[in-house]
Amino acid sequence: MTHPTFSNLRIDIDRLLGRLMALGQDGALEGGGVCRLALSDTDKLGRDRVVGWMKELGLTVTVDKVGNLKGVLPGREDLPPVMIGSHIDTVATGGLYDGNLGVLAGLEVVSVLKDSGYVPLRPIVVAAFTNEEGSRFAPDMMGSAVDRGSLPLDEALAIKDAEGFVVGEELARIGYAGETDPGHIDPYCFFEIHVEQGPVLEEEGDLIGAVTGVQGISWTEYVIEGESNHAGTTPMRLRHDAGFAAAAVAVAARKVAGAIGDSQVATVGVNELDPNLVNVIARKARMTVDLRNIDEVKLQQAESMLAAEIEAICKAEGVSYIARKLARFEPVMFDSSMVDLIAGTAKEQGYAVRRMPSGAGHDAQMFAPNCPTAMVFVPSKGGISHNIEEYTAPEELQAGANVLLQAALTKAEE
């Protein structure tokens, strides 16, 4: 499986940890963790730092029109490159590893090549995609979706956050409205290493996940309009309570997940009431529902079941609602030969490996329809992520990055 010329190469875990901790300073939260929302001032700090490292490594750096960063290390021949990518934006209660590991492990691969003097046949590209999280600007995976053509650039640049800030203007404000056309590099193949963000590897005692595919994602925002009124004087029969309707929708989403079963998940992550006062019946509720399933047909079933529930809830309460689709990605399966490569490389290095789907969305899912794509998972302590307690042990990071190194160099010699 591995090539004699590079099978002895290994990553430097102290250097990788050093970069992870340094990047974790950009948007560091008081009690630990990181808040580096896409296109915020802290995202700029992180971008500046990563671009600095790319330049130190002698990479040719490009910033495209949606702010995707790419650093190119030439190969022996000018062939379609092996791309290693992920994201450095985080959710507001983010950890040190989600996304960041994927970009910094890519830089670590480049550092190992620089140290060893080994030049692979194909160029290596390290990419950091804009707004993978989608917490501030929906949809998620925005930069990689634009890069792969599944989201039009102009549409992305016009998207607003809840406060009315616009993607294109925020990119310019932080100095990352690049000149290059997104998607200017079509990779030979794509790798993403990522923390699992779930409990499976830890519970099963496996060290490496050879990811088989990524769940489909359906994000919908509901703005429910009722009638504000006095909490004490308004008889129950006369209420049009947007807050109650929103709560009933959350219960319905949970019910739908139970009815569909298997890998179906449903989350109400946003639920804002207006005027949000103890003695006022809410006139308005803005909420979101995140539905996911690895099976597209079941995901569609979940969407239509929930739609029927919401229609009935709002009718019964005498409130109106507007639904707005924030994101919709179909499930993807990764190229089986790439999954085999990850599993085989991990086994060769003596790591317990399991094939598994990803519950979280990833930039890799945007590349899967275009080119052979693989993901390497490493365990998340307690299955925790999107939480400041997110943690993966150094030896686990080291194992995952070494599997990435060997797998990426194997492809770079094809």
Going by the annotation, the residues of the binding site are: 87, 98, 133, 194, 386
Chain positions 156 to 195 lying near Mn ion, rule: CB under 5 A, are none
Largest CA distance in the chain: 81
Comparing C-alpha atoms, which of 171, 90, 78 is closest to residue 125?
78
Q: Which stretch binds ligand HGY (CB under 6 A): 10-18, 129-137, 388-396, 406-414?
A: 129-137
Cα gap 260→300, rounded to integer Å = 10
222 within 8 A of 310, measured Cβ to Cβ: yes
Least Å from the CB of residue 401 to ligand HGY:
20
Residue 50 near residue 108, CB atoms below 8 Å: no
Minimum CB–partner distance for residue 291 and ligand HGY (Å): 12
**Do 90 and 27 touch, CB atoms closer than 8 A?**
yes
140 binds, among ligand HGY, Mn ion, none (CB under 5 to 8 A by kind): ligand HGY
DSSP 293: E
Stretch that binds ligand HGY, among 13-21, 109-117, 131-139, 294-302 (CB under 6 A): 131-139
CA-based torsion, 104, 123, 147, 59: positive or negative: positive
Minimum distance of Mn ion from residue 2's CB (angstroms): 26
Binding residues for Zn(2+): 87, 98, 133, 194, 386
Q: How far is the CB of 359 from ligand HGY (least distance, A)?
A: 7
Which value, in Å, is the radius of gyration of the alpha carbons in the chain? 22
> Does residue number 132 form part of the binding site for ligand HGY (CB under 6 A)?
yes
| Nearest residue to 218 (alpha-carbon basis) of 267, 252, 153, 258 | 267
Determine the size of the site formed for ligand HGY (CB under 6 A).
6
Which of 89, 133, 147, 241 lies at the binding interface for ligand HGY (CB under 6 A)? 133
**Pick 303 or 390: Cβ nearer Mn ion:** 390
The three-class DSSP label of residue 299 is: helix
Extract the tokens encoding 365.
């899912």
Q: Which is nearer to ligand HGY, 47 or 411 (CB)?
A: 47
Sign of CA dihedral 394, 397, 403, 407: negative
Q: How far is the CB of 413 from ligand HGY (least distance, A)?
A: 32
Question: Which of residues 94, 95, 182, 361 is near ligand HGY by CB under 6 A?
Answer: 361
CB of 365 to ligand HGY, least distance (A): 9
CA distances from 248 to 30, 83, 160 (A): 35, 45, 28
Characterise 314 by phi-psi region: left (phi > 0), alpha (psi -120 to 50), beta (else).
Answer: alpha
Using the contact rule CB under 6 A, the part of the chain among 60-68, 128-136, 145-153, 220-228 near ligand HGY is: 128-136
Residue type, 143: G
Closest CA to 122 of 203, 34, 198, 186: 186
Instruction: Tell me the residue length of the chain.
Output: 414
CA distance 276 to 85: 41
Considering only 95-103, 158-166, 180-188, 346-354, which stretch makes contact with Mn ion by CB under 5 A?
95-103
- State yes or no: residue 360 binds ligand HGY (CB under 6 A): yes
- Residue 140 touches ligand HGY, criterion: CB under 6 A: yes
Of 81, 99, 123, 182, which one interacts with Mn ion (CB under 5 A)?
99
Residue 357 interacting with ligand HGY (CB under 6 A) = no
CB of 374 to ligand HGY, least distance (A): 18
Which residue is listed with tokens 């317990």?
352
> Containing H/E element for 86?
strand 82-86
In the block, tokens 């088989």 appear at: 212
Q: Does 247 bind ligand HGY (CB under 6 A)?
A: no
Residue 362 engages Mn ion in binding (rule: CB under 5 A): yes
195 binds ligand HGY (CB under 6 A): no
Burial profile 160-179: b = 16 or more Cβ within 10 angstroms, e = fewer: ebeeeebbbebbeebebbbe
134 binds ligand HGY (CB under 6 A): yes
Which of ligand HGY, Mn ion, none sits in contact with 134, Cβ below 5 to 8 A by type? ligand HGY
Region near ligand HGY per CB under 6 A, out of 45-53, 109-117, 130-138, 369-377: 130-138
Cβ proximity to ligand HGY, 11 vs 211, nearer residue: 211
Q: Quick check: 202 binds ligand HGY (CB under 6 A)?
A: no
Cβ neighbors of 14 (< 8 A, separation 6 or more) are: none
User: Which residues here bind ligand HGY, judged by CB under 6 A?
Assistant: 132-134, 140, 360-361
User: Which residues here bind Mn ion, judged by CB under 5 A?
Assistant: 86, 98-99, 362-363
